Each structure stands twice: as structure tokens, then as C-alpha cells.
Structure 1
């Protein structure tokens, strides 16, 4: 068969001539056996005039108006390339930038479409003759591999100290390994940015890293040599093994085996965040009998990941001892993805390298830009029924992250020529997005936070009917001006009705209460006992400044009303032992989950009230039951599980009430609290046993990273015309 193939900004165009049976065989083969990284969204076939092509060729790419070719995420090193770097007779032996069409950098190096080398950060590296031959050879797996390179013509590694002085050595990678064995902390430039790396068996250096990075408790991610090493230190199910070995190579949360690695990797936690090597450089770091490395994102707390060489020298001084750099520019920085397996399926917590950007088709969607959330931000854009969800941006709490957000928005709009007509945003009047939205001269549509949560779950599961949505998270601005987060909604893509929630309590000091869970504990105790509060304070809270908090609540001084499940978890965690301040998101709630005794089957009493046409869970009896158990010296582990069981119980009971009243048997679960495995499994399984159809997240995170998708679809449903 003769003709041509070419990339266009609309997709791949193939013009082919031959016998009819051969053409049909070709089409069938393409559908059934596409290239490893190909995702054929749709295939248009048409008859054309015979032009009598004399050969088959690969033509130069075209850029077409209104094109929307999806860019592949960055992909982990394939087995073929891994064999190349291990083969001492191969010209790419130990070359840290080895890749082919089946693996390597994609989104992080693309400047513009179509995806050609001259439009990536590999443009500056001119291929040598041998690489050019591979690049042009239809029988070679490096045919048109845009980042193709070798030691003679590609990027190179250099090792420097924190003053920028080059370390003279025969092999920078082997020297890096020696430094880590000696207890040094290295800044290592990888695929999407820098990591801070050190020997994960060295408790002292891990503590030094914690001190330098001002990260007292948040678990560090680990990179392990191979799957056998993972099994040595963690329990691994069949599905978990499949996920961690996939070419996406996420950080996977796994149950750790006891007393194997230093406890300050994940203080007070029973899980480890583990990934396998995903670039040749990472594989080479495990050559000299290193088994496990701390491999955490190189950033100062709350700031974006460092990804430029000069930036690393400036911002990582005082944290690292040495820097391993390379000269392949990262155009779009990319964090590591985080995932876990619950109910025998993968649940993505942070969608970034390997998973993002996310693309999907959605019929009748308008051209919209959705800003996303304040925390765990992603944004979403749509054009011609194509929906794009950005990689994880982070918490927009400073200028640096806001600038990172704007850079990503500009890049995606530019790369796909997207000119949205509508902007969707969180309805909170003081949200970070307000100033951004006000600058846009297009139709503006605010979207309620929890409505967006439930719709994101509906869209992922292709549900268009009215549904009961349980939205459990930390905070979200409600239509009544209060802080929501323990909500039961009936909703479709356009509208929602709040039909139930947990009772409201005061948040003494406002946002400050999210950092100090004991304040929420006092608020719940005060609501339960009012002026008898002091006789009912557990021993563990008696050293706190309770009178001040009670005065703040009584006088309504900066104490917004709050129905948040996240804050309820914080309060109970503080009641049974969480001390001090929260140092990372969800810390108190995670501790509560980790403490829970899986064998405990008991629950606490509670009341479901019906007030102003809304069902409400009265938590007073729950708090009384917990305090009674504390006074009777019932173990924290049993109390923690009884609390989980109680939330599961009333969640299912309320769904039963709502479902019967409104004749709805479909339920969607969304919100960051559903990262809790006990809660997600418990509510899901009990609802299913009651005959409900239950929908949960898989690739769209249940936390606020999924908000942008929900905002986009709600805004499209509400938009004029």
C-alpha cells in the first residue's frame, strides 16, 4: 500500500491506496493493535480520488485551525530502553536520557503543537547520524521519537556543589550514589522537576532533611529499586502490583511491614508512599547496592516544585549538599502522581506525571475555562466537545503558586488555541479566583463547591440522571454563607438541592481552627454540653486555653458556622490524642484512620432531625459517647473505629430516607474525606447492600483536584444560549 501519514494539530492523517481487502485489514489492525501509547478517540474514514502514489512516506506535520490533538503524558521507561542502558555493548549503555516512541518525556517538554522535535525543548540538541537513521527508519522503535538522543548528541549530567562549582569526577551518577551513601542530601533533576534524595535507611539524614525542609511530620515519598524490594518493605496486593508496575509509575500508598525502615519516613503512619524508577537516570541510581531512596519533591513548604537549574541553585541552598543537573529544559514542570487501591481498584489522589493532562469527550459542552479550587488546584478547559484537565497545580496560597497556575493556563490556551467564552469559579466571595475572574471580559458563572464535587463524580461515571450526592470534605462555601462539608445533595449537572447535612458548630477563630483541631473539639463539646462544658473536658485537653475559645464562641467573634465532615474528624482526632498543630492537609484525620481497630464493630448513638425541610445529623450523642468511652479508658483504637462506623451508619440511613422520599437509588460519593479507606469502603458496601447504585472516583481525584471538572460541566449547563 502507498500514500502518506502525517501529524496535524487535529490528529493523525493517513492517506492510503491499495487493494480493498488490504485497506480493510490495515484499518482493522490499527484499531486492534495501535502503537503502545496511542489512544484512538475516534476514526473518520472516507473514500478519495485515486492519486496513484508511488511509495509510502511520513510527511511533515501540519497545523490546522481548531485542532485538538491530545498530548501524551510523560511515560516511564519501557523494557526495551531499560535493556539498552543495561547492555554494555549498546551505544546507550548507562545513558540517562534513553527513550523511544513507547516511553520518555512528552508533555513536560512540548512548547507547541504539532508534536515535533523543533517544538520541544529537545530542539537545541541536533541528532547525530546514528540517531537520525533510527528516527527515519520505519522498522526502528525510535521512528519519529522526538526526544531521541544518545551520549554523543543528547543532554548530559553534571554534578555541582551549592556554590555552583562543578564536581570533578569520572561518573556523576556513581559519585551521586557515593554522596548519598555518605549521608548527603542531593537535589536531583528528573523528568518534571527536582527531587530531594537521600538514603532511606539513614534515620539521621532523614531527620536532617526534615529540619532543613521544615517538614516535621508529613510522610516522605520513597523510590525503591524494584518490585521485590517493594515486597520486602510493604504488603502488596495483585492490583497494587499492577498499578506500581504500570508505565505511569505513580507514588502508590501501601501498607508497610513493621520495623523495616526508619520510622521518621512516615511518622505515626501505617502506610508508605512508594514508586519505582521511571527514567533511566533513576534506574542508574540503584546500581551500587542502594535499595531505597527518599525521593520527595524539591520545594519549600507550600511553594511550587523547583524545576530550573538556576532556580535550584538559589532555592535549594541550605537544603541540599549537592545538585545533579542536566541540560534538557523542562518546559512544563510536573509533580509525581499519587494513587492508592481501594475496593480492588486504583483511586488517583494527585493526578500529575503519567496521568495528566487528562482528556475526555463531553457532548454539547461550551467553550469554558474553570478555575478550580483553592486547595489541590487543577483547572479545566473545553473546546469543541473536548475537555482538558490540567495536571496538579497545588494550593494557591502564595504568589509563586498563582504564577505557576497562570503559566499553565497560558500554555494550554496557547497550545490548543483555546479562547473560552465563559469562566467558571468557586462562589466563595473571598476566594483567590475572584481577582482573576474579575479581569476576564467573558460570561462569569459561580459554582457551589460541593455541587462541583458531585458533578465531577457523575461525569467520570457518565451519569446524567438526578442523583443523591454525599459530599464530605474540609471546607466549602455554602449558599447560606456558612462553611459546608458534610452534605447530602440531590443534583443534576445544572441544579442542586441541599437535603441533609451534619449539624453546624462554630469554627472558633475561623481558618485558624483548621490548623489546631483541639479548637474544633472544644466547639463540639460546647455545643453538646453548653455551660457544663468544663465538667466534660477530657484530660488530654485540660491544658488548653479553653476559656478563651468558649468566649470566642459565645460572643461570635470570628466563628463561622460549619457543617464540615473534615472538621468533625479533626475534633474527634483531638479528643483521642492528636496534639498541637496540623502540619499538612488531613494530618489529624489520617491519624484517626490509622488508629482505628478494624475488629471494632460498635457505633455511637445519634439523632436525625428534620428542620426547615432538611434532615440534620445531631452529633451531641456521638460526642457524649466518645467522652464516656474516654472516661472509661476505652482504647483510642476502638473509639476511632466506633466513630468511623457511626459516620458510615448515619450516611447510609440518610440516603435511605432521601432515596425513598425522592425515588432516587443512585448515589455519588465525592470530597477529600473519601480518601479515607474505612469510610469509602464502609459507605459504598452498605449502600450497595441496600440496593443503591453507588458511583465513586477512579482517575478524577475525589479531593479538590476534581472540582475544576465539576465547575466546567455545571457552568456549561447553566450558560446562556
Structure 2
């Protein structure tokens, strides 16, 4: 009988996901011999047997991998037959030139949840149940290859029972690196804010504190949460005061999908996103009388819900008996706290107790946030459960690339081969703690994925800390990438396309090539470059950054422009701010501390102020977010004049839109109807600009990006109009349209220019 021996190299997310046990089981089932090992590039297999059986092995390998695996490349080569009688898992090789991938952290699987609640199981109610198919991954990895010694579980030697499971090829925990049990694994503690142990069974005692209205810090996979009873107004208000978070909604954790449906409307796509292995916070429309304290999401028709993703969460939710606020454990504007000593220092003053444990977290990972648009996931914040799984792109990075991202919602990106490793959400890069997280994250990702950047991409804004970091590096080639070009390039990469396209980038602010602040842009763009082909009319931002915090200032600037200095009397926004209105108008006209902007986000702010939705904000984008939620999408009538100038670039008249809004306000048209008409008009602006550029440039593909396109009312209207007019439309589904996706765009632009 003829035999063949084949060496098989498998690359992708193939370590820490049960791949070697899967390979061994598959090979032995087919009567094959050989071995499988992890190394720095992925998984290496040598398999020998009848040619037909080897062919079936290779086909099944790619067709039916373990649930958490992601196979990207399989390469095969012939070897001389070596004989043998077994198929073995052999010791890993570290080696040099690492190219293996690390799996994200994954929610507790159904099998482990069953064990958690089984009184006959030795892991009954054990807060660290995990197996090959679930549990911590990226947050515990110190280095690769992914073996226990390279994780934060190295300090927990396996007991005899766990060791037997770990070494048994037939067991679900065969070579599961975080495997443990009450006899050998981490333990949970309940302490006071100074770290002294509190009496009682920790989880039950913690739940009792929550029921009494206490604020707790709870250690999770990638950092600490701040938790309170979601039904307690006193507790939610206390948390808001202690965290200095005035109005931004808190995330809520519920026990299961049925509990989610008790609070919110949940369709099939939302249920799948909510209950999948990644467990993001999902933005859902709440029931009008959902039993949630007002301070959880003040005045908000939506709630951000997530399901438990660790055994500790399952236990705590069951003991507490109801939904819990689970918001990031940090002081506002700082990154999530993940080190134990840091938690005592930074969170101790905010909480009444800590529910913590002794398994170290090596890499922080905040909760991801998403919503559903047109049956697809629309990421808002990409982190735990997603990172560090790369965005695979169709183009090679000729040299290793680091992209430093933007200032707000910062992420960084490392490019190598066809992989773009977009970091998890870091936050706003405006303080030392976030900058430290940024620099430490770059170093850790560089070690894990063996990326030593030779090309470094950065935003053009000279005052961004990410730009300054890039400019301070030595021995690298620097590539400046305009902010809105990066947005469109991010959308292109998200969809695996190179362009050219009509790019519509609507956001808050981004530094333009003319040193003004852009944000309502029509670009003709590909990965290498772009041309500004159109934009929203520019107006001053009276007071600069103050106009972001106080949207009524943008209303003043737009009304002054729309009515040539004489806005009609009776507009509520002028009356509400009458004592300062004239001064702000003069400031805008002076040009001093009033930078010009074409920002679509600031136009949304102005309309929100005109309608009385929001004069001031306590978090970024609040006015526009509330305007979207206020819009009466059931009203399909009306809209405002859309005027495009004849120039190149063409200019969209924002003044005409503001005049229409003001006219409706003065006529007493209900605010939600006006909000809907404004959204409809902005979608028509997108269509009009695209039609103009199709005529001029012969392009029929439109890419929509920028934070304004998180607005699903606008996005839905724009996509419907564009597709109805024969355009093919690209939107985001793998990275956020907001500044969290900027680093991916910078990376692929730098890579494209390097190849050019």
C-alpha cells in the first residue's frame, strides 16, 4: 500500500483555540500517523498515510476547523515517508520571525455554563470555568507561542485532575492553557476599598451589597467594571457623581436574552450579536417603561445591553437577581483600570467594595460596543472579543507599518503581510494615562506579532499626541495622512477594495490640508491619495473648543451666516442664550479664536440647539446623538433646500438648510418632525454630491465614513437614496466609522504609498 507524508503549515488564529487536539483527533480517525506542534508562525503538521486519507485530512482541516479558529493560509509540501504508529502533539517551538495570531477573549461557552450550574461537577459555581472553546486569551498572553508558561496562568500549577484533562486528547480541555479548578486555579475575594477582606462568600456578599445600593468594582477579563443595581436610582446617581460622568449612558448587563427582551426591543440580528461569542454592548431601543433607574441612561430611548461573558458575571447576575450597570472601571477620560494595585489607588475612592481575583490581566481590553444596521453589525467601539484579531486586507504591507491613529477614540494599528492589527479602544489621547496605555500597547503588540515598524503613519494635526509620538520616533519613514482620507481608506480596507471611489466623510473635526478644520467632505479617493472634490460650507467656530462643548455657539454662527447677520426674532436658542449671543456672534465674525470649519458634526450640533434638544454637552457627540434619537422617522414628508455651488471643489450651502430648519421652528412644526426633515436633507446632500461627482469623474461607488455615519437614521436614508440612484455603497462592518477606525485607514494608505 502506498503512503505519502506531507508537511502542512497552517496560519491564522490557530493557537489557543483547540486546533492541535482537533488535528490529532482528525488524523487518528483517518488512521494517519505523524505529529502537530505550535510554533512562532502558527501550527506545523506532519501527516503520513494513504494518499486518499491524507487528501481527506487536508480537506476536512480547512472545512471544519474548531469554532474559534480562523484559518488564513494552508501550505503543503511533500516529505519522505518516516513511518510510525501514532499521531502525537509535540512540544512547541518558539523560534524567530513570529507570524502566529492570538485569539481574542471569548465568552463562556454553553458547555462550561452547564458545568458552572451542575452541583455534581467539580467546577460547580467556580468563577473561572473555561475550556478550549472559551475564556481568556489575549488579555492573559505575555508572549507566543501560546502555551501556559507564556500566560498569566503560569503562576497556577495544574492539580492532578486538571493535568489529566489537559493531557487527555479526548477531553474538551486538552491543551486548554487557562484550564483550572477550585483546587489549583485563581480565587475570588471581596474586599473593602483599602483591600482588606470582607466576610462571607464573596459573590453572594457582593450581590447583597449591590442590592443595598453599594457601588462595586468588579474585575473582569480585560479590566475592572464599576457596578451598581440598574434598578436603583440612588446607586446609579451615586456612581454617576463619583465617576464624574454627567449624562453619558451606562452599559447594563443582563442575565440572558429573555432579560434583555424585558428591557428592550431585540430583533433576530440583535439577538445574534448580543448572544454571540464576542458579547459586545449592543445598542437597543428600550421599552418605554423598562424597569431601569433614570440615571442609568438619562432621557435616552436606547440602552446599551450586554450578556455575561465570564463565569463570575453569570454567578453575580444570578445572585443579584436583576440587571446590573457594568460601566468601565475608570475615572472619566482615562483608560480602563486593569492592574490590581492601580485599581486600589484609582478606583478605591469611587467604590464601596471590590469583587476581585488573583489572575493577573496582562493586556487591558475595554468592552466593545456595536449596533445593527441593515442586518449587519456596525461597530461603535472595537475592543474585547474582537482585538487583536486582525483585519485581513488584499494587499501586502511591503514593510512593517505602525499607524498612530487620531486623538479621540484612539486606536493604533500595526501592518504586516496582509494583516492589519487594529488595537482595542484606548480612549481619548488627551492625558498621561491614555498616552501610557498607547505606548505600552504598541510595544506589546509589536512583541506578540513581531512587528518592528519601518514606516509610521500619523494624522496631520500637529498638536495630536499621536502625531507628536510619531514625530519623536527615529529611524523610521514618516507618512502624514489627512484625517478624512484616512476615514475613507478605512472604509475601503473594511470592504477589501482599493478604489477609486467617491468618499463621503462626515465627522466632527479633522485637520485639513489648508490648515482649516474639515468635517463635511466629498473626496475622490483611493488608497494612495485623494482630492477634495466638495465640502460643506465653512463657518466659524466661536470660541474654538468651547463651540464643541456648547452647541448653541454653532447655532449662533450658522444663523448669522444664514440670515446675513439678522436672524428672525423668536428663535428659542437666541432667547435662551440672549445675554451672551451678541458677544459670540461678534467673536465668530472676528476670526479670533474662531477657526473656520466645514464640519457636518457641528452642523448637527447647531440644529440640535435650534430645536432645543441640547445647548451644552457633557460628552463628545451628545447633541448629534440626541438629535438622531429625537427624529420622528415615521414622518416621511418634507425636507430643506439642497444647494451645491458650481466650483471645484463644490460647496454645499449649509445656510440654506439652516434657513429651512429655522422656518419650521418659527412655524411651530414639532421638533421631532424637523429633526427627521434635517436628517432626510443631509441624506439628499450625500446623494447630490455623489451624483455631481459621478458626472464629473465617472465613478459609481460611494464610501461612507466618519463618526456622523454612526447615525443609522442618516446612514439608512443615504444608503437607500444612493442605491436607488444606481450607486454601489460601501459602509463599515469590521471597524468603526468613527475615529476608532482612523488607524486602519492610515496604515493602508502608508502601505499603498510604500508599494507605489
User: Is 1:548 paired with 2:583?
Assistant: yes
Deviations 1:614-643 (A, max 9, x none): 211112222122222222221111111111
Q: Which shows bigger deviation, 673-682 or 460-469? A: 460-469
Partner of 2:557: 523
CA distance in 1, matches of 2:592, 2:43: 61
Aligned partners of 2:629, 2:404: CA distance in 1, in Å? 33
8 Å CA contact 2:517–2:598 kept in 1: the answer is yes
Instruction: Spell out, residue by residue over 1:496-517, the C-alpha distance to the aligned partner (whole angstroms, 9 max, x if none).
Output: 1111111000011112211110
Indicate whether 1:469 and 2:503 are aligned. yes
User: 417-426 or 104-113, which moves further after superposition?
Assistant: 417-426
Tell me whether 1:220 sits opposite 2:250 in the alignment: yes
User: Is the counterpart of residue 371 in structure 1 residue 401 in structure 2?
Assistant: no
Query: Residues of 1 paired with 2:389 and 2:408: CA distance?
Result: 19
1:552-631 pair list within 5 angstroms = 552-610=587-645, 612-631=647-666
Tell me how far apart the structure 2 counterparts of residues 570 and 365 of structure 1 sit (CA, whole Å): 39
Indicate which of 449, 458, 473 corresponds to 1:416.
449
1:645 aligns with 2:680: yes
Distance in 1 between residues matched to 2:319 and 2:470, nearest whole Å: 52
How far apart, CA to CA, are the structure 2 residues paired with 1:277 and 1:615? 50
CA contact (8 A) 1:74 1:105 kept: yes
Structure 1 residues 555 and 668: alpha-carbon distance in aligned structure 2, compared to 1, 3 A threshold = same
Return the alpha-carbon distance in structure 2 between the equivalents of residues 339 and 463 of structure 1: 23
Between the aligned partners of 2:61 and 2:349, the Cα distance in structure 1 is: 53
1:528-571 Cα deviation digits (max 9, x unpaired): 12331474643553435012112212221111110000000001
Q: 2:143 aligns with which of 108, 112, 119?
A: 112
Cα displacement string for residues 410-441 of structure 1 (whole angstroms, at most 9, x for unaligned residues): 00111222111110000112222232122212
Q: Assess if the C-alpha contact under 8 Å between 1:606 and 1:619 holds in 2.
A: no
- For residue 309 of structure 1, report the CA deviation from its aligned partner: 1.5
Larger mean Cα displacement after TM superposition, 30-39 or 327-336:
30-39
Q: Deviations over 1:471-527 (max 9, x none)?
A: 010000111111111001011111111111110000111122111101111010111
Question: What's the TM-score, normalizing by structure 2?
Answer: 0.93
1:519–1:571: 8 Å Cα contact kept in structure 2?
Answer: yes
1:76 aligned to which of 107, 119, 124:
107
Q: 2:207 maps to which residue?
A: 177
Aligned equivalent of 1:6, options 33, 37, 45: 37
Which residue is equivalent to 2:238?
Answer: 208
* Worse-superposed segment, 633-642 or 113-122: 633-642
Matched, 1:458 2:492: yes
Distance 1:612 1:429, change over 3 A: farther
Q: Report whether the alignment pairs 1:402 with 2:402.
A: no
* 2:162 is equivalent to residue 162 of structure 1: no
Answer yes or no: is 1:426 the counterpart of 2:456.
no
Matched, 1:663 2:698: yes
Equivalences for residues 85-96 of structure 1 within 5 A: 85-96=116-127
Q: What CA distance in whole angstroms lies between the structure 1 residues aligned with 2:66 and 2:675?
A: 49
2:167 to 123, 132, 136: 136
Partners in 2 of 1:201 and 1:704 — Cα distance?
A: 33
Inter-partner Cα distance in structure 2 for 1:531 and 1:464: 45
Q: Which residue is 2:360 aligned to?
A: 329
- How has the CA–CA distance of structure 1 residues 362 and 160 changed in structure 2, closer, same or farther, with 3 Å as cutoff? same
Report the CA distance shift for 1:475/1:48 in structure 2 as closer, same or farther (over 3 A): same
Q: Give the Å deviation of 1:262.
A: 2.1
Alignment correspondent of 2:532: 498
State how far apart, in whole Å, the 2-side matches of 1:718 and 1:651 are: 28
Report deviation, 1:386.
Answer: 2.7
Q: CA deviation at 1:720?
A: 7.5
Deviates more, 1:60-69 or 1:700-709: 60-69
Residue by residue over 1:29-58, the C-alpha shift from the partner in whole angstroms, topping out at 9 and shown as x without a partner, is 211211111111111111101111232211
* Cα distance between partner residues in 1 of 2:503 and 2:638: 23
- Taking structure 1 as reference, are residues 720 and 698 closer, same or farther at Cα in structure 2, changes over 3 Å only? closer
Q: Kindly indicate whether residue 222 of structure 2 is the aligned counterpart of residue 192 of structure 1.
A: yes
Which of the numbers 663, 668, 674 marks the counterpart of 2:709? 674
Q: Does 1:122 align with 2:153?
A: yes
Classify the secondary structure of the residue corresponding to 1:40: strand
Count of matched residue pairs: 720
- In 2, the alpha carbon distance for the partners of 1:596 and 1:225 equals 31
Is contact 1:74–1:104 with CA below 8 Å preserved after alignment?
A: yes
Partners of 1:385 and 1:286 in 2: CA distance:
41
Counterpart of 1:608 in 2: which secondary structure? Answer: coil
Any conservation in 2 of the 1:606–1:617 contact (CA below 8 Å)?
Answer: no
Deviations 1:672-694 (A, max 9, x none): 00010100000001100111000
Asked if 2 retains the 8 angstrom alpha-carbon contact of 1:336 and 1:352, the reply is yes
Q: Distance in 1 between matches of 2:669 and 2:417?
A: 59
Aligned partners of 2:505 and 2:704 also within 8 Å? yes
Of 692-701 and 351-360, the range deviating more from structure 2: 351-360
Partner secondary structure for residue 73 of structure 2: coil
Q: Structure 1 pair 544/75, CA: closer, same or farther in 2 (3 Å)?
A: farther
Q: For residues 356 and 245 of structure 1, what CA distance do their matches in structure 2 show? A: 18
Within 1, Cα distance between the matches of 2:397 and 2:341? 42
Deviations 1:565-589 (A, max 9, x none): 0000001001111345311121100
CA distance in 1, matches of 2:646, 2:95: 58
Equivalent residue, structure 2, for 1:487: 521
Q: Cα gap change, 1:289/1:433 in structure 2, threshold over 3 Å: closer, same or farther?
A: closer
Secondary structure of residue in 2 paired with 1:286: helix
Give 1:512's match in structure 2, choosing from 533, 538, 546: 546
Alpha-carbon distance between aligned partners in 2 of 1:663 and 1:440, rounded to the nearest angstrom: 41
What do residues 634-659 of structure 1 show as CA deviations (whole Å, max 9, x unaligned)? 11111111111111112111211111
CA distance in 2, matches of 1:145, 1:39: 17
Q: Equivalent residue for 2:15?
A: none
Which range moves more in the overlay, 107-116 or 535-544? 535-544
Query: Take 2:667 and 2:418, find their aligned partners in 1: how far apart are those partners?
Result: 60
CA distance in 2, matches of 1:562, 1:628: 24
Judge which range, 604-613 or 617-626, deviates more: 604-613
Query: In the alignment, which residue of structure 2 is the partner of 1:706?
Result: 741
- Normalising by structure 1, we get a TM-score of 0.98
Task: Give the direction of change, closer, same or farther, for the CA distance of 1:583–1:242 in structure 2 (3 Å limit).
Answer: same
| Inter-CA distance 544–453: structure 2 relative to 1 (3 Å threshold) | farther
Aligned to 2:62: 31
